Amino acid sequence: MRRTRKIIEKIVEGIFALSGAITSITVLLIIVFLFQEGLSIFNQKPVEENSILAVHPNNPVSKLSGLQIKDIFDQKITNWKELGGNNDTIKLFRLDEAGSLFNEEQMGSNFERLPHCIDSYLVKTPGILLFFNNRYISKDFRGKKIEIENVNPYSFLLGKQWFPTAQPVAQLGVLPLILGTIWVTLGAILFALPFGLATAIFMAEIANHRIRNILKPVVELLAGIPSVVYGFFGLIIIVPAVQKVFNLPVGESGLAGSIVLGIMALPTIITISEDALRTTPRALKEASLALGATHWQTIRRVVLPFASSGITAGIILGIGRAIGETMAVLMVTGNAAVIPHSYFEPLRTIPATIAAELGEAAYGGLHFKALFALGCILFIMTFIVNLVFQFIAKKKKY
Amino acid sequence: MKAVVYSFIFVVLLSSCSDSSVTSDNQGNIKSKTKQLNIKGSDTELPLTQNEIEGFLKLNPNASISLTGGGSSVGITALIEGNTDIAMASRNLTSDENSKLGNKMQHIVKATIAYDALAIIVNPSNPINRMTKEQLQNIYLGKVENWKEMGGIDHKLSALGREQSSGSYAFFKDHILDGKSYINTMPQMSSNGQIVESIEQSPNAIGYVGIGYVTSKVKALAISFDGGKTFINPTMDKVKNGAYKIARPLYYIYSTDTKAKVEPFLNFVLSDSGQKIVESTGFIKTN
- A55-100 pLDDT, tens digit per residue, is 888 888 888 888 888 888 888 888 888 888 888 888 888 777 777 7
Q: How far apart are CA A369 and CA A375, in angstroms?
A: 10
Q: Do A336 and B179 touch (CB under 8 A)?
A: no
The architecture in CATH of the region B3-115+251-280 reads 3-Layer(aba) Sandwich (3.40)
Q: Does residue B272 sit at the A interface (CB-CB below 8 Å)?
A: no
Position A133 pLDDT exceeds 80: no
**A38 pLDDT band (50/70/90 cuts)?**
very high
State which of A235-239, A358-362, B149-153 shows the largest mean pLDDT.
Answer: A235-239
For chain A positions 309-328, those within 8 Å of chain B (CB to CB) are: none
Per-residue pLDDT at B244 exceeds 60: yes
Q: Do A50 and B99 touch (CB under 8 A)?
A: yes
In this predicted structure, the answer to whether residue A54 has a pLDDT above a threshold of 90 is: no
Query: Could you tell me whether strands B161-162 and B188-189 are parallel, antiparallel, or unpaired per DSSP bridges?
Result: parallel
> Nearest CA to A153 among A177, A169, A127, A175?
A175
The amino acid at residue A18 is L
- Give contacts of A243 with chain B, Cβ < 8 Å: 201-202
- Spatial contact of A147 and A52, defined as CB atoms under 8 Å apart: no
SS3 A138: coil
Residues of A in contact with B97 (CB under 8 A): 362
| Closest to B65 measured CA to CA, from B13, B19, B109 | B19
Which letter does DSSP use for residue B143 in this model?
S
Position B100 pLDDT exceeds 80: no
* pLDDT at res. B28: 40
Q: Which CATH number fits domain B117-247: 1.20.272.10, 1.10.530.10, 3.40.190.10, 3.30.470.20?
A: 3.40.190.10
Which part of chain B is CATH 3.40.190.10? 3-115+251-280, 117-247
Interface membership of A279 toward B (CB under 8 Å): no
- Quick: pLDDT tens for A149-175: 888 898 899 988 898 888 788 889 999
Q: Write out the H or E segment, with its range, that includes residue A265.
A: helix A254-278
State whether CATH 3.40.190.10 applies to domain A51-150: yes
pLDDT of residue B1: 40
| Interface test with chain A among B138, B188, B199, by most A beta carbons within 10 Å | B188
Q: What is the pLDDT of residues A324-347, one digit of tens each?
A: 888 889 889 988 888 999 899 899
Please tell me the predicted confidence (pLDDT) of residue B12: 42
What is the C-alpha to C-alpha distance for residues B162 and B190, in angstroms, rounded to an integer?
A: 6
pLDDT above 70 as % of chain A: 98
Q: What is the pTM of this model?
A: 0.80
Q: Do A73 and B74 touch (CB under 8 A)?
A: no
B120 reaches A (C-beta below 8 A): no
The 3-state DSSP class for residue A141 equals coil
Q: How confident is the model at residue A288 (pLDDT cuts 50, 70, 90)?
A: very high
Interval B62-74 mean pLDDT: 84
- How does DSSP classify residue B159? E
- Stretch among A121-135, A173-187, B226-240 having the lowest mean pLDDT: A121-135
Q: If you average pLDDT over residues B71-97, what whole number do you get?
A: 83
Put simply, the answer to whether B99 touches A135 (Cβ < 8 Å) is yes
Section A318-327 average pLDDT: 88
Which residues of chain B have a CB within 8 Å of the CB of A161? 184
Residue A195 binned pLDDT confidence (cut-offs 50, 70, 90): very high
pLDDT at B95: 66
Phi then psi for residue A158, to 5 deg, are: -105, -5
Q: Which residues of chain A neighbour B140 with C-beta distances below 8 Å?
A: none
Which of B118 and B190 is assigned the larger pLDDT? Answer: B118
CA distances from B274 to B23, B101, B113, B248 (A): 21, 28, 9, 19
Q: For residue range B26-59, what is the model confidence (pLDDT) as tens digits?
A: 444 444 445 789 999 887 788 899 999 999 999 9
Q: What is the pLDDT of residue B120?
A: 94
pLDDT averaged over every residue in chain A: 88
Q: Is A331's Cβ below 8 Å from some Cβ in B?
A: yes
Length of chain B: 287
CA A351 to chain CA mean position, Å: 4
DSSP secondary structure code for residue B42 in this structure: -
**Winning range, highest mean pLDDT, from A130-139, A294-303, B186-195:** A294-303
Most confident stretch, A57-61, A357-361, A371-375:
A371-375
Q: What is the pLDDT of residue A86?
A: 82
Is the domain A175-397 a CATH 1.10.3720.10 member?
Answer: yes
Domain ranges of chain A: 51-150, 175-397
Distance of residue B73 Cα from the nearest chain A Cα, in angstroms: 5
B165 in reach of chain A (CB within 8 A): yes
* Residue range B157-167: mean pLDDT, rounded: 84
| Closest C-alpha among A131, A95, A110 to residue B102 | A110
DSSP for A289-304, written as a single string: HHTT--HHHHIIIIIH
Task: Give strand pairing partners of B115.
Answer: B249, B284
Pick the residue with more confidence: B239 or B87? B87
Q: What is the mean pLDDT of residues A181-186?
A: 94
